[in-house]
Structure 1
Amino acid sequence: MEGEESEPIPVSPQHIADVEMATAHTVSDSDDSDSSDSDNEAQQTVELQNLQSQLSTNPSNYDTHIRYIKLLRTMGELDKLRQARETMSALFPLSPEMWQEWAKDEASHSSGPVIPAVIENLYERGTSDYLSVSLWCDYLNFVREHDPSVRDYSPNGISKARHLFERAITAAGLHVTQGNKIWDAYREFEHSIFNAIDQTDIQAKEKQAQCIRRIYHRQLSVPLASLKSTLIAYKAWEVEQGNILDAESDDVDGISSQVALAYKKALEMYNARAHLEEEIARQDSVESEKFQHFMSYLKFEQSSGDPARVQILYERAITEFPVSSDLWLDYTRYVDKTLKVGSVVRDVYSRATRNCPWIEELWVQYLLSLERGHASEKDISDVYEKSLQCTFSTFEGYLDLFLTRIDGLRRRISLAKEGDALSFSLIKETFQRASEYLSPHMNHTDGFLHLYSYWARLELKLGKDLGAARGVWENLLKICSMFEAWQGYITMEIELGQINEARSLYKRCYSKSFSGTGSEDICQAWLRFEREFGTLDDFDRAVQKVSPRLEQLKLFRLQQESISLTATADQREHSFKKTAREKRKSGSNATDEQSPAKRQKNDPRDPKKLNQNSNSQEQNKTEINEGDETKDKVDQPENEKQIKDSSAAKNKVYTDQCTAFISNLPLKANDEDIHQFFSDVGGVSSIRILHDKFTGKSRGLAYVDFIDDDHLARAVAKNKHMLLEKRLSIARSNPKQKKESNASIAPGEHVGFRKQTRVDGGSASKEDVESSKEGGVSHSAGRRRGENIQLKGKNTFAVPRNVRALGWTANKPRTVEEGDEKPKSNDEFRKMFLKK
């Protein structure tokens, strides 16, 4: 009771001691917690400084931006977090989850009242990066909750909300598995408007009910996963409106025939796509399999011929594989060919170049699409400047960009009306910029020659300046003195009728050395020129100058051909010897006939047994020879193929300077599987799967070359990832280590033993030489005794006894050893003596 004093509660000494101890523990725990928090803050500060330093050095590192934003979000640094997100979004598209976090952080940490326009702007930017149904739902819910005009159902608010819902339906309403969320939210909003209308306003109620009915009808005509539940909800709503329907069943009885027909068609379409949706939704499939499922799904949708459905499926695939250049190229080609809507095509190309800025083809097609859409010079120039800031795999990519820009300027200058024409100086500046950038790297290529030829032609046609065109050619000749460059310069002068200038150019270049047959071609071209345009004296002077040069070139060509023929002969001889060695090796296990000495040693001295043994030996010998000949015929194509493959592999040199070595590769994996595996990394220039040289099967090893170290680093980061249900081992190839490990082995040696000189000039193993010294006969030699073999050279110490001596050309009858002939009878001996 108020005013009454409460009696004091008695407290025991033990209770006081317990309270003091608890207080002490609490203070101690608080001190430990404060100390731990301070340590964490110090670590976070150090990590934050390191990330800031990394971003200042390399601002295009995507992973560093992610870690930096997460750390700032953990530390609660809202201002720095906002700036970090703005910086990253200017460089890269953000994922839907990052946009959702950003919008929620801005809404929850705002010091004053929430400003809907700021958050709505974030949602607008997020929905333009990738397709996300959940992001659209957050956007719609935020507008309904925080926009007063929408919340109060004012006419302007209702109009704004409906416009936003229609945009969401267009963007994500055809999503087979998640699109119903947008439709349901739309109907819920319209239901809330219906409930807010006064019950006495029957006309307004009926009008709003008709609006809800139209949304139901539209949703029932779209193939969505929730079609049957939507039908039941629609029938229940119609019952509420006073219509008599069976609200519990999912059949179409009681609804209009038009709606029923549209519903059945939509249900058939969904059933045709259900298995495809299940394949791309599987969680246990690897990225390469999921990518292939999406591509199969896209082919199916393209065959149905509905561009809206194809586009939304492309958007779903892009959200799953945002850095797949093949997917973006396929998508942009489709919108160029099918949609042809300027704003849509431009938006797709803008996002494609943000996700894959290293693909020059995307930038080239982007510039062309802007020109088709009649974009302004400022827009085209901005895209062109952005493209030149990117890093491409080859300089040909930059050349293609320069030429695309020049082509566009030329077309616009040629077709522009008076007063609207662009200045020709833009083309000259672009040519000059291209020359300065590409000349250190492409000055002896056909592409660079084409650039200058194009430049000179435009100086004549658009610039109307012959001196400038000649200056272009002269500058090219200072950079690169190719035969084609001189010929192009001379051709221009001839076409313009400048005969004397063309003749002076021939005099300047006829004595120069060009690659291939260029030196002879320029001399012959001068002679043809004088025949067609010069006088007899001009022709004689040309012959007088050209003839010694042609004789000199002819002699040089003969010398080169002689060297080439010698090298070819040596190569053929080496190949023949290698084939012979392979055949000897393949027949080393065959059973050969015994030497005469061994036959005599093993002779049983029994005439009957001798006859039987000799017959059986002859039969076995015949069978073995026939088997060996058949084997040689069968194996010969394989040996030749292996020799060609090995020689081709030896001729091609791989430096492995930017190469990933892959082990534990599935034996059924091919180049396409590996390329798809690294599709998210990009930059693959070549793939080499190692195969067994005898069976041709994969050894489970591969080398993958990349265009630069950045792509290689990202590829190595995929170590231990799964490919075809096997975990790959990926490491950087180190050719220096291989060279050092083989440095102690002299050229021409194998690890384990050194090669010895074979009788036929090839190389023999140690075992072959020892068997030759012992007088043994090789099996392959035994099979080819009928051949006329002549030995050349000094190394004849190891000549087997069954090889003919030098100079023998005819087959001599085989000498029969004692004991080989059948014993004669008494009658035969008597006849011999009578003859004598």
Structure 2
Amino acid sequence: MAASSNAEQTQLQDMEEDDAGTEEREMESDEEEEVGMGVENSDEEEEDSSEDEKENEAEIQRLEEQLSINAFDYNCHVDLIKLLKQEGELFRLRKARQKMSELFPLTEEIWLDWLNDEIRLTEEEPNREKVYELFERATKDYICPDIWLEYAQYSIGGMGSPGGIDKVRSIFERAVTAVGLHMTKGQTVWEAYREFENAILSTIQPPPGRIPSREEQELLNTQLERIHTLFRRQLAIPLMEMEATYAEYEEWSEHGVPETVSNQYKKALQQMEKCKSFEESLLVAEPPKLAEYQAYIDFELKEGDPARIQITFERALAENCLVPDMWTKYTIYLDRQLKIKDLVLSTHERAVRNCPWTMGLWKSYLLALERHGADHQTVSDIFEKALNAGFIQATDYVEIWQAKLDYLRRRVDFSKESSKELEELRAAFSRSLDYMKQDVEERFGESGDPSCMIMQIWAKIEALHCKNMQKARELWDSIMTKGNAKYANMWLEYYNLERSYGDPVHCRKALHRAVQCTSDYPEHVCEVLLTFERVEGTLEEWDIAVQKTETRLNRVNEQRAKAAEKEANLARQEEERAEQRRKAKVDKKVQKKVQKGNVAGEKRKAEQDDYRNEWNQDSAPKRQRGNGDQNTEEYMETETGLFVRNAPPGYKHAPLGTKTVQQGGAAPAQRQNDGKPELRNDESSVFISNLAYTLEQPESKLRTVFETCGPIKHIRPVFSNKGNFKGYCYVQFETSVSVPEALKLDRQELEGRPMFVSPCVDKNRNPDFKVFKYNTSMEKHKIFISGLPFTCTKEQLEEICKGHGTIKDVRMVTYRSGKPKGLAYVEFSDESQASQAVLKLDGMEIEGNKISVAISNPPSRNMMDRPASSRPSTDLMPRQVYGSRGKGRTQLSLLPRSLHRQSALVSKVENGTVAEQVPATESATEETRPLSNSDFAKMLLNK
């Protein structure tokens, strides 16, 4: 048995070895095949990669050329950086980032990518100072906890160098000062700082069992005190999850938490509870969270803690860096409250880099530089940057020049007759006037300074400080030649200047010119001239002034009388034209009613005669007439005793006494068993409109849609006389309970077109009823977008807008056919989100189309949109001015000449005079018999 078992084991081992050899051979063959396929695939991949590289290189060159033309294209910078990073062009990437950082502040993501790339490069190059410099630049753009944390952790890698530990501590101290108060992210910086100090502590602790020396014990105590201090400082600040930090301190401290630290912790915890609601609202809000940050800032301003106010502003600006009002509010607070030079000037610099188009930020920056004693060259350089910032209004350039001129004027010592500062001031005034004339007027088409305020200030400075009235008079002559001589207030300004710093001769000369040239308030300058002569003048000068003022006032009164007469004539002509239009409209209405009355009367009389003849022939209504064929005339008896045919769908029953005929029998859906016509029940019916005219079998398709709402009694699509579907129908249910469910299907698409479902209301009884009523007042929570591409869908627009707030509804505006108009309304949850969306989306390009975005302010409905009952007839132009269908191509009248002759106005003569004019049709009805159908046929055939 043992031998047999050994033999079996040997046989099994041989089989396993054979199987293993077979598997090895198969694996080798598979590997050879894979290697062969890998070679082929690698060749294909190399070809694809080379093509991609060529395409990327071409795109990189295109972006670089575009930036050489317009260096301020932000998106172009971002795209170029992404492509260079994808291609691994690190040195070109560094150059592209450098150029962008010189023009724009970079976001936290761009800075972190740049820093990580530079850190990898310096692993091979032992130069860490370049990375330190880059970190310093990154911390100046925005106050970002992640950047500070990365900076501190990177510095730990260089702690082995001389002074490395002190450098790390210095960076950590700056980090907790900058972002340690950040309610949600500040805790990570504090914890990293404590971990670093704990690591230092572990290196200086003596090994177990050895008593430290006196120097080692002092060093150990100093390090322990550092960690205690960090715990105490952190627990005195309101931070999220500070309870865990307190528990960690209790566990770490050998002697427990001191009472003073516990009291500070409790105060910080109370402060954190006050801020918790604001932090929670920021967590759930969507970017940019402008309204939430505004509320948070207002709360901190009331609390009055400068450090917390500063960190809250910085957090808000990190997400709303393009909101000028936020920067303005922050810089005003720093200028008036903190007044720390480095902090104030750095914030002003960041403000103008983020919003360079805002003149107010540049103006505040110049004032801050002067306030903190910046050197003259720095102020001049900042001013030149402001001129090249690209303001959006001509008046902005006037204000920035005034700020620079005020600064230069304050530098001048006017006690000296001549100085370098005074010459620089005069040169700046002269340059500002040339700049306004050449650059601003060419760019905006207007001067921006129509009242010449810069020249007025220059003239006052020359008169007051320099005692140079000759230069002041030359400047005022230039002011008057620029179109200001007609304004009384300009002459009085000049007169006051002469009165204060000039002489009576030039005062009198100025007032005489003012009396001659002023056109807006000549009485005022005349009174000033007479008052001046009462005080200064002789009798001869008084007589001259009286004569001149009387002559001028008489001429002015004549001009005013002519203007008043002309205005009265224009008003009278307008009233006459309005009266003519009103009379023409009334006459046309009367004429139209008379014509309709004649035709309808003749037709009604003829049909009533036919009915009477038919009724008299037999004693009962006839069910069939003719020779028994299928084309029969069918009648029903109504409640009035007259007989009318069963109306087809959409047909309005004729008035009493009118005969109507249905060929081929009545529709069964419109007839009840008793033979009377079935009346529509509006309470259980809905009206469907905006259907496609080409809709086939509308009754069956609508039944499929609406049968889920409840049992349907019948569906009545409306057709034209030619049998074409008119795009609307009535759906009547068995009960009125189904109507609300049917109304929920409003705007549901049917064959690619939204159908309108509305209540079924008799407009004759309710003329003011209107289903679709859109708001016509300003909707501050809703934006209006125009210029959209026609291919843009509701989902695409919602995807674009959702990054700017919570969207409640998106409505695309279309034609009746369902074709888009390129317009849309987007409703946000509140006004601040809509305002932010306007700021961010206006001018954005979508598929090559530049869209316009504004707050929704629909125009008020004009009078033609109102019901006829509430429309005043005198306020509208008669529609018949261009015919019943508007202005035609040929402007030819298609009305027969015989009818033209009848519609002409004829005069009624009473007592030998023409009393009034009435339409000829009206007079004809009094004298002639009603026209028959044959008469109308003859008139239509008359040439």
TM-score, length basis structure 1 = 0.66
Cα displacement string for residues 503-551 of structure 1 (whole angstroms, at most 9, x for unaligned residues): 4445556443x5533x554455444444443332233334444443332
Cα displacement string for residues 292-349 of structure 1 (whole angstroms, at most 9, x for unaligned residues): 1111111111221111001001101111111111211111122122212122111111
Q: Which residue of the partner structure matches residue 726 of structure 1?
A: none
Matched, 1:261 2:263: yes
Residues 145, 185 of structure 2: 8 Å contact kept: yes
Residues 436, 448 of structure 2: 8 Å contact kept: no
Q: Which residue of the partner structure matches residue 482 of structure 2?
A: 479
Matched, 1:72 2:72: no
Q: Which residue of the partner structure matches residue 494 of structure 1?
A: 499
Q: Which residue of the partner structure matches residue 295 of structure 1?
A: 294
Q: Which residue of the partner structure matches residue 625 of structure 1?
A: none
Residues 220, 262 of structure 1: 8 Å contact kept: yes
Q: How much has 1:221 moved relative to structure 2?
A: 1.2
Cα displacement string for residues 623-654 of structure 1 (whole angstroms, at most 9, x for unaligned residues): xxxxxxxxxxxxxxxxxxxxxx99xxxxxxxx
TM-score, length basis structure 2 = 0.59
Q: Which residue of the partner structure matches residue 45 of structure 1?
A: 57
Shift of the 44–276 alpha-carbon distance from structure 1 to 2, 3 Å rule, reads: same
Q: How much has 1:374 moved relative to structure 2?
A: 2.2
Q: How much has 1:496 moved relative to structure 2?
A: 3.1
Shift of the 385–766 alpha-carbon distance from structure 1 to 2, 3 Å rule, reads: closer
Residues 843, 851 of structure 2: 8 Å contact kept: no
Cα displacement string for residues 788-811 of structure 1 (whole angstroms, at most 9, x for unaligned residues): xxxx9977549999xxxxxxxxxx
1:664 equivalent among 819, 825, 835: 825
1:189 equivalent among 191, 196, 199: 196
Residues 187, 212 of structure 1: 8 Å contact kept: yes
2:245 equivalent among 226, 230, 254: 230
Equivalent residues in 2 for 1:521-670 (5 A)?
A: 521-565=524-568, 663-666=824-827
1:713 equivalent among 843, 858, 875: 843
Cα displacement string for residues 759-813 of structure 1 (whole angstroms, at most 9, x for unaligned residues): 979755679x99xxxxxxxxxxxxxxxxxxxxx9977549999xxxxxxxxxxxx
Equivalent residues in 2 for 1:683-832 (5 A)?
A: 712-714=842-844, 731=852, 763=877, 797=919
Q: Which residue of the partner structure matches residue 433 of structure 1?
A: 431
Q: How much has 1:426 moved relative to structure 2?
A: 2.1
Q: How much has 1:569 moved relative to structure 2?
A: 7.0
Q: Distance in 1 between matches of 2:109 and 2:364?
A: 30
Cα displacement string for residues 735-776 of structure 1 (whole angstroms, at most 9, x for unaligned residues): xxx9xxxxxxxxx99799xxxxx9979755679x99xxxxxx
Matched, 1:451 2:454: yes
Residues 662, 730 of structure 1: 8 Å contact kept: no
Q: How much has 1:564 moved relative to structure 2?
A: 3.7
Q: How much has 1:463 moved relative to structure 2?
A: 3.1
Q: How much has 1:360 moved relative to structure 2?
A: 0.8
- Give the percent of matched residue pairs that are identical in Structure 1 and Structure 2: 30
Q: Which moved more, 1:354-363 or 1:191-200?
A: 191-200
Q: Distance in 2 between matches of 1:51 and 1:759?
A: 63
Residues 662, 731 of structure 1: 8 Å contact kept: no
Letter in 2 for 1:132: C
Q: Which residue of the partner structure matches residue 734 of structure 2?
A: none
Q: Which residue of the partner structure matches residue 601 of structure 1?
A: none
Q: Which residue of the partner structure matches residue 135 of structure 1?
A: 147
Q: How much has 1:406 moved relative to structure 2?
A: 1.7
Residues 177, 224 of structure 1: 8 Å contact kept: yes
Residues 137, 182 of structure 1: 8 Å contact kept: yes
Matched, 1:349 2:348: yes
Letter in 1 for 2:260: Q
Residues 394, 448 of structure 2: 8 Å contact kept: no
Residues 173, 183 of structure 1: 8 Å contact kept: yes
Q: How much has 1:89 moved relative to structure 2?
A: 0.8
Matched, 1:120 2:141: no
Shift of the 761–187 alpha-carbon distance from structure 1 to 2, 3 Å rule, reads: closer
Residues 395, 448 of structure 2: 8 Å contact kept: no
Shift of the 566–261 alpha-carbon distance from structure 1 to 2, 3 Å rule, reads: farther
Residues 236, 264 of structure 2: 8 Å contact kept: yes
Q: Which residue of the partner structure matches residue 746 of structure 2?
A: none
Shift of the 419–93 alpha-carbon distance from structure 1 to 2, 3 Å rule, reads: farther
Q: Which residue of the partner structure matches residue 106 of structure 1?
A: 118
Residues 424, 463 of structure 1: 8 Å contact kept: no
Residues 409, 427 of structure 1: 8 Å contact kept: yes
Secondary structure, counterpart of 2:182 in structure 1: coil
Q: Distance in 1 between matches of 2:333 and 2:180?
A: 21
Q: Distance in 2 between matches of 1:375 and 1:481?
A: 39
Aligned length: 617
Shift of the 677–800 alpha-carbon distance from structure 1 to 2, 3 Å rule, reads: farther
Secondary structure, counterpart of 2:239 in structure 1: coil
Matched, 1:675 2:835: yes
Q: Which residue of the partner structure matches residue 813 of structure 2?
A: none
Q: Distance in 2 between matches of 1:91 and 1:115?
A: 26
Provide structure 2 residue ranges, at least 5 long, that are not aligned to the other structure: 1-20, 207-211, 584-600, 602-775, 778-785, 788-820, 867-871, 885-913, 924-943
Secondary structure, counterpart of 1:675 in structure 2: helix
Q: Which has the higher contact order (CA 8 A, sep 6+)?
A: 1
Cα displacement string for residues 332-385 of structure 1 (whole angstroms, at most 9, x for unaligned residues): 122122212122111111111111111111111111222221222222222212
1:271 equivalent among 270, 273, 285: 273
Q: Distance in 2 between matches of 1:677 and 1:291?
A: 11
Shift of the 49–210 alpha-carbon distance from structure 1 to 2, 3 Å rule, reads: same
Q: Distance in 2 between matches of 1:294 and 1:718?
A: 34
Q: How much has 1:578 moved relative to structure 2?
A: 12
Q: Distance in 1 between matches of 2:447 and 2:125?
A: 66
Q: Distance in 1 between matches of 2:922 and 2:257?
A: 101
Greater helix fraction, Structure 1 or Structure 2: 1
Matched, 1:516 2:520: yes
Matched, 1:369 2:368: yes
Shift of the 259–396 alpha-carbon distance from structure 1 to 2, 3 Å rule, reads: same
Secondary structure, counterpart of 1:392 in structure 2: coil
Q: Distance in 2 between matches of 1:481 and 1:793?
A: 59
Matched, 1:179 2:186: yes
Cα displacement string for residues 155-194 of structure 1 (whole angstroms, at most 9, x for unaligned residues): x323222221111011000011111111111111111111
Q: How much has 1:229 moved relative to structure 2?
A: 1.3
